[in-house]
Amino acid sequence: MSVSRPVVVVAVVFAAVGGAALAVDAGLLTPSQYDRATVTLADEDGQTLATVEVRVADTFQKRYTGLSETASLDEGEGMLFVHDRAGSYAYVMRDMAFGLDIVFVAPNGTVTTIHHAERPPSGTTGDDLRRYRGYGVFVLEVPYGFTNRTGVTVGDEVSVSGLDDS
């Protein structure tokens, strides 16, 4: 395990640098450039707590851009970040106009971590951005306070429909 750790660190640093260039060269993505899916969140008894219509961020550029420069999200709307494999990830609120709940989801669909991320102060960039860390293969971003309003907690279950498996 210790052998892979330096490789992961190098990959993350390279990805962040490469992503900045990619985002600048290609411009910001528009909502129509994302696939769509439906995320259902349920408690341990299988009772549905919430359903969210999401944009799917399943490529490096889409994950890097995320919801940056998005004006707002409606209740029941969000973004689902899909990683190639489960791992520990850190998310930041880059160029965000509103706060988010950031929900990390393990490969088996269990919610592992929930962060309530307020909008960063104006002008906050780069290394000054707070890192919201968690473990998962999926990360769901929804409007700030969504998990409190719906009763979603760590240990609840997430299922995704309409996600392209190819």
Which residue blocks in the chain are alpha helix, DSSP H?
A: 4-26, 60-65, 146-150
**Residue 6 domain flag:** no
Instruction: Determine, yes or no, domain membership for 151.
Output: yes
- For the record, the structure tokens of 131 come out as 């890192």
Residue 110 lies in a domain: yes
Total number of domains constituting the chain: 1
pTM greater than 0.85 (yes/no)? no
Predicted confidence (pLDDT) per residue in 109-131, tens digit: 999 999 999 988 888 888 889 99
Task: State the CATH number of the domain containing residue 49.
Answer: 2.60.120.1140
Q: Which domain holds residue 110?
A: 30-161
- Summarised one tens digit per residue, pLDDT across range 85-116 is 999 999 999 888 899 999 999 999 999 999 99
Identify whether 139 is part of a domain.
Answer: yes
Dmax over CA atoms of the chain, in Å, equals 47
What is the CB neighbour count within 10 angstroms for residue 117?
18
The answer to the question of residue 8 being in a domain is: no
